[in-house]
Amino acid sequence: MADRTDPPQAFGRAVEQEMGQLFEDLPLAEQERMVEAILFATAEPQTLRDLCARLPEGTDVGHALALLERRYQGRGVHLVQIGEAWAFRTAPDLGHLMSREAVDLRRLSRAAIETLAIVAYHQPVTRAEIEEIRGVSVSRGTLDLLMELDWIRLGRRRMTPGRPVTFVTTTGFLDHFGLESARDLPGVQELREAGLLDNRSAPGMPLSLEDDEDPDRPAQDPLFDPDDAV
């Protein structure tokens, strides 16, 4: 397009200007929608010069901006001038509608996502069972976080000695992960076939009892080191 300004173009421009007398300039409405699209899609407010550089020769950017500004008057979005540049902004009286936008996205810790995965696949599952599967202890905080996120909740108590509580996933969980039901989670075999599981080593290996990232790992793990037996 006409966004380069190297010397040969300057010559070209002169020619084009002459051509402009021969050919019709772009209709104003077309110029206006071009400016509209650019101001919508760019990440920074655009100066007149920025806009000119993007638009075809002969565009009357100032005029297009004036039309656009009038068009958006009283709308939910306004065309505003910020210093030398132009941008669309939410109408000041509607700012409150955007308040929900202010969210900090944080990645779930590895302990949390693994715990969640185990609950999802093995529900209803007790804390002891989660620990057995992960091979490391699960901190209360991890379960609390997952409950706070409304991804897991308490299920029925297990009818075994001690009547431990169980954990199950929630509708919020299905919602967040775009699942229709927990049954739709793929099995281990399917994970492997989808390439999600690196099968360099055979599955069904004994549980590894170490997780170096987990501070509250049970202290007895070295016990299971066969080399160590005296």
Partner 1 sequence: MPEDFADGWEARRVADRQIAEALVVDVAGFEGPLDLLLTLARHQKLDLRRISILDLAEQYLAFVSAAQDLRIELAADYLVMAAWLAWLKSRLLLPPDPEADGPTGKELAAHLAFQLERLEAMRTAGAQLMGRNRLGRDVFARGMPEALVLRRTVRYNASLLDLLRAYARVRTHEEYRPLDVRRDPVLTMEAALTRLRSLIGGSVDWTLLEAFLPEGWRIDPKRRRSAVAATFAAMLELVRAGEAEIDQEAIFAPLMLRACRAGSGDRTAGGNAAYQSADG
Q: Which two tokens stand for residue 41?
A: 């899609």
Q: Please name which of 111, 83, 88 lies closest in space to residue 42, comparing C-alpha atoms.
A: 88
Compute the least distance from the CB of residue 205 to a second copy, in Å: 13
Which x/- pattern, by CB under 8 A, does the window 20-49 give for a second copy? ------------xxxxxxx-xxxx------
Contacts of 150 (CB under 8 A, 6+ apart): 170, 172, 173
125, β-bridge pairs:
167
Least distance in angstroms from the C-beta of 64 to a second copy? 10
Question: Please, which residue, 7 or 195, has the CB nearer to partner 1?
Answer: 195
* Residue numbers 77-116 binding a second copy by CB under 8 A: 77, 88, 90-91, 94, 96-101
The reply on whether position 154 binds a second copy by CB under 8 A is yes
Q: What are phi and psi of 46, to 5 degrees?
A: -110, 135
132 part of the interface to a second copy, by CB under 8 A: no
**Cβ 185 vs Cβ 118: under 8 Å:** no
149 with 116: CB under 8 angstroms? no
In the range 160-219, which residues lie near a second copy by CB under 8 A? 163-166, 170-172, 175, 178-190, 193-196, 203-204, 214-219
Q: Which of 63, 70, 140, 176 binds a second copy (CB under 8 A)?
A: 140
CB of 21 to a second copy, least distance (A): 23
Distance CA 92, CA 89 (A): 8
